[in-house]
């Protein structure tokens, strides 16, 4: 698909990815385009202030991206989670390499607007939340029974 018919509407805020896979693809595209705001705003809101924005920027800029391959999309892990296994390829002086990852996503229902959005759960962000506290995604469930399983 062309950019205009795929990830661009997500990047401009005119559409919301309806699946974790669509969100994953649009995040990869945002890395390629160095759209750091999109990387930040599609991470679980509670983690956003803890993201190392400079490190994300540097990584996006310094990487010579070479493609994305979705290996597996598990659209429904329990009530509100999904996972996407993927390989993000990049060129290095020693040839093409792949960053192979299994990412977790959470679906958040905003009670005010009624809008449902998928967010990336960043496993590299350490959070001061105990297993029994309410989850960072705002689901009202205990952290350990919700997103804690994926962190
Ligand atoms: Zn949660």
Structural domain includes residue 22: yes
Phi-psi group of 140: left, alpha or beta (phi > 0 → left; psi -120 to 50 → alpha; rest → beta) = left
Calpha distance 85→96 (Å, rounded): 19
Write out the residue range of the structural domain in which residue 38 sits. 3-125
Any idea how long the chain is?
151
Residue 133 lies in a domain: no
Between the CA of 37 and the centroid of ligand 1 the distance, in Å, is: 22
Residue 57's pLDDT is: 96
- Gap from CA of 12 to ligand 1 centroid (Å): 26
Query: Is 147 inside any structural domain?
Result: no
Q: Measured in angstroms, how far is the CA atom of residue 84 from the centroid of ligand 1? A: 17
Q: What domain count does the chain have?
A: 1
Question: What is the rounded distance in angstroms from the CA atom of residue 26 to the CA atom of residue 92?
Answer: 23
pTM of the predicted model as reported, rounded to 2 decimal places = 0.93
- pLDDT tens-digit map of 107-146: 999 888 899 999 999 998 877 777 788 999 999 999 999 9
Q: Where are the beta strands (DSSP E) in 23-141?
A: 64-77, 81-92, 95-109, 116-121
- Give domain status of residue 139, yes or no: no
Q: CA 82: distance to chain centroid?
A: 11
pLDDT band with cut points at 50, 70 and 90 for residue 150:
confident
Over residues 10-57, the pLDDT tens digits come to 999 999 999 999 999 999 999 999 999 999 999 999 999 999 999 999
* Within a domain: 117: yes
Inside any domain, residue 81: yes
Nearest to 120 by CA among 142, 100, 101: 101
Distance 93 CA to ligand 1 centre (A): 40
Residue 110 sits in a domain whose CATH number is 3.10.450.50
pLDDT of residue 3: 97
Contact predicate 103/83, CB 8 Å: yes
Asked if residue 69 has pLDDT above 80, the reply is: yes
């Amino acid at each position: 698909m062309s950019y205009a018919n795929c990830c661009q509407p997500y990047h401009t805020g005119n559409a919301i990815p309806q699946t974790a896979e669509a969100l994953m693809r649009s995040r990869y595209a945002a890395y390629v385009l160095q759209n750091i705001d999109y990387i930040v705003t599609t991470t679980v809101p509670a983690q956003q202030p803890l993201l190392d924005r400079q490190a994300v920027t540097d990584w996006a800029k310094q990487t010579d991206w070479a493609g994305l391959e979705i290996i597996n999309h598990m659209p429904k892990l329990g009530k509100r989670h999904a996972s996407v296994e993927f390989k993000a390829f990049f060129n290095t002086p020693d040839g093409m390499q792949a960053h192979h990852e299994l990412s977790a996503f959470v679906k958040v229902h905003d009670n005010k607007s009624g809008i449902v959005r998928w967010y990336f759960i960043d496993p590299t962000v350490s959070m001061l939340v105990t297993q029994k506290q309410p989850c960072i995604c705002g689901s009202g469930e205990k952290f350990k029974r919700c997103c804690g399983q994926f962190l």
